[in-house]
Amino acid sequence: MPEVDVFRGLPIVGGHPAVDFVNTILYSIGQDYLASYRGLVDWAAHQGIIDEAESAELMALDERSAKAEAALAAARSLREVLKALILAAIDKSPAPAETAESFRRFYADAMTNAALEWRGELVAYALKIGSNDPRIIVWRLTKLAADLLTMDHQGRLRACVRRPDCHWVFLDTSKGGGRRWCLPGVCGNIHRLKTFRQKHAAVPQ
Instruction: Summarize as ranges the residues that interact with Zn ion (CB under 5 A).
Output: 160, 162, 166, 168, 182, 187
| Shortest Cβ 21–Zn ion spacing (Å) | 17
| Shortest Cβ 192–Zn ion spacing (Å) | 13
| Shortest Cβ 29–Zn ion spacing (Å) | 14
In the DSSP assignment, the letter for residue 121 is G
Q: How far apart, in whole angstroms, are the C-alpha atoms of residue 121 and residue 124?
A: 8
Beta carbon nearer to Zn ion, 23 or 142:
23
Strands 31-32 and 10-12: what pairing? unpaired
Beta carbon nearer to Zn ion, 140 or 179:
179
SS3 7: strand
| Shortest Cβ 128–Zn ion spacing (Å) | 35
| Shortest Cβ 30–Zn ion spacing (Å) | 16
Beta carbon nearer to Zn ion, 164 or 204:
164
Beta carbon nearer to Zn ion, 67 or 156:
156
Beta carbon nearer to Zn ion, 36 or 189:
189
Q: How far apart, in whole angstroms, are the C-alpha atoms of residue 11 and residue 141?
A: 19
| Shortest Cβ 24–Zn ion spacing (Å) | 15
Give long-range contacts, CB 8 A cutoff, 24+ apart: 143-150.
143/107, 143/110, 143/114, 144/16, 144/17, 144/18, 144/49, 145/18, 145/21, 145/78, 145/82, 145/85, 145/103, 146/103, 146/107, 147/18, 148/16, 148/18, 148/19, 148/86, 149/85, 149/86, 149/89, 149/103
Beta carbon nearer to Zn ion, 74 or 187:
187
